[in-house]
Amino acid sequence: MTGIRIAIGIVGITTGVIAAYITRVQSTVKTQIAYASVVQIGLIFVEIALGLHVLALVHFSANAFLRTWQLLVSPSVLSYLVHNQFYHFDPSAPKKVNTGFRKISNSLYILSVKEWNLDAMLFRYLWSPFKEIGRGLQGVSTKLTSVILIVLMGIGVYALVAKNSIPVFVTDILPLVFSATTLLLILKAFAERGDARKAWLMIFASQLFMLLAILGNADLGLKEILICLGGASLSAIMGYACLERMHAIDSDILLDKFHGYTFEQPVTGFIFLVSGLGLLGFPVTPTFIGIDLLFSHIGLKQYGLIVFAALSFVFVEIAVLRIYSRVFMGQHKKPSHAIAYRSS
């Protein structure tokens, strides 16, 4: 636990320092407030690392109230400051600054303007490797994928039914296998450029394998299983029905381009968005509680399961929103109405 606390504290301090520098170079009020909130989140991490949980909760609530108030009053404050500067502008006298300090200051300024190249680093070291894994999985045919998933699902169900007759080392490794399968399915859906329905089904199947991983790791009651599956199943059915409707209209819901179907089917687009949010665990279905139940049954020393579950939780959101954006957002592909070209 001490090592985890130290890691949380280091992350909090690093986040706070970098975000503080980025805040000072922002040109708009909203971005300044956003990065200032990131600074406070870094401080909250430090408070959690020190064991000051009540203070962290109060800090979180107070920061939310403060930033809301700042967003509301910022137009009036800016108007007053511009008016005051217009009539009472007093340019500050140049100051003599040490050359070495100026170089450091200028370097920090440029780094902050570039946001410390965090976007490029995340794209190169986080985004690209996982996307390459997903692209590599595209070589596996749909038929072979289905066979592998059915076999693994059968093994998982058998392991739950005959848990006492299976060697302990097998029951210990199965949750890791199922959680890894969850991540691979999500990455395959994330890199899918074909039929959106196939990607949607892979995402739902990944949620089933995550449930299998947790069931093999801990005993869940029927009520808890229904809470986890109820909202996710309903959301998956509604989302698939929306995709089927769009396919019946145009027979083209490939994920290699933007279709902009929300122009002619705004209600269907909204229902699919709500379905996607429900599948992700937003508080529109019982899955919101179910995901917390699943994570609460992962042990502190099950590092592999923690890593696979956390990565799956991150990439499933990107995969679902990618399907929504490709099918329903973007420029509408039918030229039967006025459209704005990119060059306009």
Domain that holds residue 132: 119-328
Same domain membership, residue 307 and residue 164? yes
> Which pLDDT score is estimated for 343?
58
pLDDT tens for 123-149 read 888 888 888 888 888 888 888 888 988
Number of other residues whose CB lies within 10 A of the CB of residue 286: 19
pLDDT tens for 218-277 read 777 777 777 778 888 899 999 999 999 998 888 888 888 888 888 888 899 999 999 999
Cα diameter, the chain? 85
> Which pLDDT score is estimated for 243?
92
Q: How far is CA 287 from CA 148, 234, 306, in A?
A: 26, 10, 19
Question: Does pTM surpass 0.85?
Answer: no
> Which pLDDT score is estimated for 321?
92
Residue at 336 is within a domain: no
Same domain membership, residue 102 and residue 13? yes
Residue at 235 is within a domain: yes
Collapsing DSSP to helix, strand or coil, 137 comes out as helix
Collapsing DSSP to helix, strand or coil, 313 comes out as helix
Side chain identity at residue 178, one-letter code: F
Q: Tell me which residues of the chain have a pLDDT lower than 50.
A: 344
> Which pLDDT score is estimated for 112?
87
Residue at 333 is within a domain: no
DSSP code string of 15-49: HHHHHHHHHHT-SSHHHHHHHHHHHHHHHHHHHHH
d(CA 290, CA 229) in angstroms, rounded, equals 8
> Which pLDDT score is estimated for 252?
83
Q: Give the number of domains in the chain.
A: 2
Same domain membership, residue 94 and residue 42? yes
Nearest 5°: phi and psi at 113? Answer: -60, -40
d(CA 290, CA 271) in angstroms, rounded, equals 21
Contact 145, 198 (CB under 8 A): no
Number of other residues whose CB lies within 10 A of the CB of residue 24: 13
Same domain membership, residue 217 and residue 309? yes
Q: How far is CA 36 from CA 32, 33, 116, 190, 224, in A?
A: 6, 5, 16, 32, 39
Same domain membership, residue 155 and residue 283? yes
Residue at 335 is within a domain: no
> Which pLDDT score is estimated for 271?
93
Q: Which two tokens stand for residue 105?
A: 């200051």
DSSP code string of 185-205: HHHHHHT--SBHHHHHHHHHH
d(CA 53, CA 25) in angstroms, rounded, equals 32
Nearest to 281 by CA among 291, 266, 271, 269: 291
Nearest 5°: phi and psi at 256? Answer: -90, 0
Same domain membership, residue 86 and residue 163? no
